[in-house]
C-alpha cells in the first residue's frame, strides 16, 4: 500500500517474478523507477526476474532495452535444425509443435544460446561491488529442494551458472553445477518476496508478470508493499519476440507510473494536468443537468424515484461506471470513467499515455469512421429490427441469432435530444444486456451535443467581432 500523500523517497527492495518472454515488462517498470528516482537497495528475482535483476544491479538500462527489443527464440534455445526440418512438412504447425514436444520429452530444450547471452551481458565483478544486494531462487533436482542465495553466498565465478539455473524453465534441459542438476526457481517461489524479507527490508516493490509457478505466502505485516502487476496480456511464456517486448516494456512503464500515483485512469493512462481537471468540470458543474440527461437519454422518469425500471436500468449503468472509477463514484469521476469504457469498447489502444481531450478526439474520429462506413449502412436493417423488440427476450434472441459488432450499436442514433420512445426503449434493452455499449453510446451523444453548443458559441463570437 502506498503511503497517503504519495510515496517516500527512501530505498526500496525490488522483487521480480518469473515469466519467460514476458520479462520485458519488468524493464518497463525499471524505466519508471529511474524516472521517479526511486533508489533500490536490493533485488530478488526468479527465472527471468533473476536475469533482469542482474542487469538492474549492474545499472545496464540501455543494454537491457537493446536485449529485449531484439530478442528472439533463437537467443534462448537451440532448435534451428529441428525446426527447419519440421518446416518442410506439409503440416508445418503440427510438425513444429511435435518437434518441440519431442525435444522436451528427450531431455529438454538446449539452452546454449541463453548461456551465451548471460555470459555476454553479465558483469559479475560489477554486481559484487554494487551497493545493491542481489538474490536469486532456483531448485535443485538432485536434492529436491529450493536454493535461495544472495550474491555473497554464491561462489566466485559461479554467478552465471546460478542465473542460468534460476532461469531453467521446466521445458529446458536442467543445468548442472558441480554434480547437481537445477531447474527454474518458479516451481518453488515465482515471486521471491520471502527472500527479500530475509534482509529485513520493509519498503518493497513487487512486480508480478503472471508467470507460471508457485507464489509462496509470507507474513506482510509491517511491510509497505507497492504491487505492480501487468494490466494487460503480455503474451506467451516462450513467445520471445522483440516487437512484443517493446509493447510489454511500455506497459510496464505505464503500470508502474500509475502504481506510484503519477498517472491516473482505470484501464487507460492519463497524465494529471490542468486540462484533465478542466474537462472533468463538464460533469461536476452540471451535475443535476447531466443527471437529468442520463434519465432522459434512457427514457426514464427523473421524478419517479421508486420506479422499478428506473432502478434496474440505472443500477446496471451506475455500477459499470463505478467499476471504472476504482469503486468511488463522484460527479468528477463520471466523465473519465465513461471515456475509458467507450475507448475500450471501440478497441482504442490503451498502451500509451493520453490526455482526456486526446482520447475524446480519437473516440469521435472512430465514431465518424463507423457511421460513414458501408458496413454500418448494411447493418441498419438489422438494427431497425432490434428496435421492434417488445421484450428483453425478443431482443436477446435477435442478438444471439445475428451476432453484432459493438461499434455499430455504440454509434447508432447517438443523439442526446432523441424523443422517439421506440429508440429509448431500445436503449433500455441495450443498457440491461450490454451496459458498456449503452454508456458508450450515451457518452458520444453528450460529446456531440457539447461540440455543437461550443461551435454555436464560436459562431456567435465570430459574428459579433
pLDDT at 103 over 60: no
What are the pLDDT digits (tens) for 339-365? Answer: 999 999 999 999 999 988 899 999 999
> Do 250 and 290 lie in a common domain?
no
- 47 as an active site residue: the answer is yes
The residue that leads in pLDDT, 93 or 256, is 256
CATH at residue 154:
3.40.1090.10
pLDDT confidence of 98, banded at 50, 70, 90? very low
At 101 the pLDDT is: 44
> Do 248 and 295 lie in a common domain?
no
At 459 the pLDDT is: 65
Domain's final residue, options 200, 225, 260:
260
pLDDT confidence of 276, banded at 50, 70, 90? low
What are the pLDDT digits (tens) for 14-48? Answer: 999 999 999 999 999 999 999 999 999 999 999 99
Domain's final residue, options 231, 260, 289:
260
pLDDT (average), residues 164-179 = 89
Task: Name the percent of the chain lying above pLDDT 90.
Answer: 55
Contact by Cβ (8 Å): 441, 427: yes
Helices in 43-134 by DSSP H: which ranges? 48-58, 61-69, 80-87, 92-105, 112-121, 124-129
To the nearest whole number, what is the mean pLDDT of the chain? 85
d(CA 123, CA 146): 25
> Do 380 and 417 lie in a common domain?
yes
Domain's final residue, options 227, 242, 260:
260
At 377 the pLDDT is: 87
pLDDT at 319 over 60: yes
What are the pLDDT digits (tens) for 360-400? Answer: 999 999 999 999 999 888 888 888 888 888 888 888 888 87
The number of distinct structural domains making up the chain is 2
Q: Which of 47, 166, 333, 411 is the catalytic position?
A: 47
Pick from 159, 160, 220, 211: nearest CA to 185: 211
End-to-end CA distance of the chain: 55
- 130 as an active site residue: the answer is no
The residue that leads in pLDDT, 311 or 24, is 24
Determine the structural domain holding residue 445 and report its residue range.
269-463
> Do 174 and 191 lie in a common domain?
yes
Q: Which of 133, 161, 166, 184 is the catalytic position?
A: 184
Amino acid at each position: 500500500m502506498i503511503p497517503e500523500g504519495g510515496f517516500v523517497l527512501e530505498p526500496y527492495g525490488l522483487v521480480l517474478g518469473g515469466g519467460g518472454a514476458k520479462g520485458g515488462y519488468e524493464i518497463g517498470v525499471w524505466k519508471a523507477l529511474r524516472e521517479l528516482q526511486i533508489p533500490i537497495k536490493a533485488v530478488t528475482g526468479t527465472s527471468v526476474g533473476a536475469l533482469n535483476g542482474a542487469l538492474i544491479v549492474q545499472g545496464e538500462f540501455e543494454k537491457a532495452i537493446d536485449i529485449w527489443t531484439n530478442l528472439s527464440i533463437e537467443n534462448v534455445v537451440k532448435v534451428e535444425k529441428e525446426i527447419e526440418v519440421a518446416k518442410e512438412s506439409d503440416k508445418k504447425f503440427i510438425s513444429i509443435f511435435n518437434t518441440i514436444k519431442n525435444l522436451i520429452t528427450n531431455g529438454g530444450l538446449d539452452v546454449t544460446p541463453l548461456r551465451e547471452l548471460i555470459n555476454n551481458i553479465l558483469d559479475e565483478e560489477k554486481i559484487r561491488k554494487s551497493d545493491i544486494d542481489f538474490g536469486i531462487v532456483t531448485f535443485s533436482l538432485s536434492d529436491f529442494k529450493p536454493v535461495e542465495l544472495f550474491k555473497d553466498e554464491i561462489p566466485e565465478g559461479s554467478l552465471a551458472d546460478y542465473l542460468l539455473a534460476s532461469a531453467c524453465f521446466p521445458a529446458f534441459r536442467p543445468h548442472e553445477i558441480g554434480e547437481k542438476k537445477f531447474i527454474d526457481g518458479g516451481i518453488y517461489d515465482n515471486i521471491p518476496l520471502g527472500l527479500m524479507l530475509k534482509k529485513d527490508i520493509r519498503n518493497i516493490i513487487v512486480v508480478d508478470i503472471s508467470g507460471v509457478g508457485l507464489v509462496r505466502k509470507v507474513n506482510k505485516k509491517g511491510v509497505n508493499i507497492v504491487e505492480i502487476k501487468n494490466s494487460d496480456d503480455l503474451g506467451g511464456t516462450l513467445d520471445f519476440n522483440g516487437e512484443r517486448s517493446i509493447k510489454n516494456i511500455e506497459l510496464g512503464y505505464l503500470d508502474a507510473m500509475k502504481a506510484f500515483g503519477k498517472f491516473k485512469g482505470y484501464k487507460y493512462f492519463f497524465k494529471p494536468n490542468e486540462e484533465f481537471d478542466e474537462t472533468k468540470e463538464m460533469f461536476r458543474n452540471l451535475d443535476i443537468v447531466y443527471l437529468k440527461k442520463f434519465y432522459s437519454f434512457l427514457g426514464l422518469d427523473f421524478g419517479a424515484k421508486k420506479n422499478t425500471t428506473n432502478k434496474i436500468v440505472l443500477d446496471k449503468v451506475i455500477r459499470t461506471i463505478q467499476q471504472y472509477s476504482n469503486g468511488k463514484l463522484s460527479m468528477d469521476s463520471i466523465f473519465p470513467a465513461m471515456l475509458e469504457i467507450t475507448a475500450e469498447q471501440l478497441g482504442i489502444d490503451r498502451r500509451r499515455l493520453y490526455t482526456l481531450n486526446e482520447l475524446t478526439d480519437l473516440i469521435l474520429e472512430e465514431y465518424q469512421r463507423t457511421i460513414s462506413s458501408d458496413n454500418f449502412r448494411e447493418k441498419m436493417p438489422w438494427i431497425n429490427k432490434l428496435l421492434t423488440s417488445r421484450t428483453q427476450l425478443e431482443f436477446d434472441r435477435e442478438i444471439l441469432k445475428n451476432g453484432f459488432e459493438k461499434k455499430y450499436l455504440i454509434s447508432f442514433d447517438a443523439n442526446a435530444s432523441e424523443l422517439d420512445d421506440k429508440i429509448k426503449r431500445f436503449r433500455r434493452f441495450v443498457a440491461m444486456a450490454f451496459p458498456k455499449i449503452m454508456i458508450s453510446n450515451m457518452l458520444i451523444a453528450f460529446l456531440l451535443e457539447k461540440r455543437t453548443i461550443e461551435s454555436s458559441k464560436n459562431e456567435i463570437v465570430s459574428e459579433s467581432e
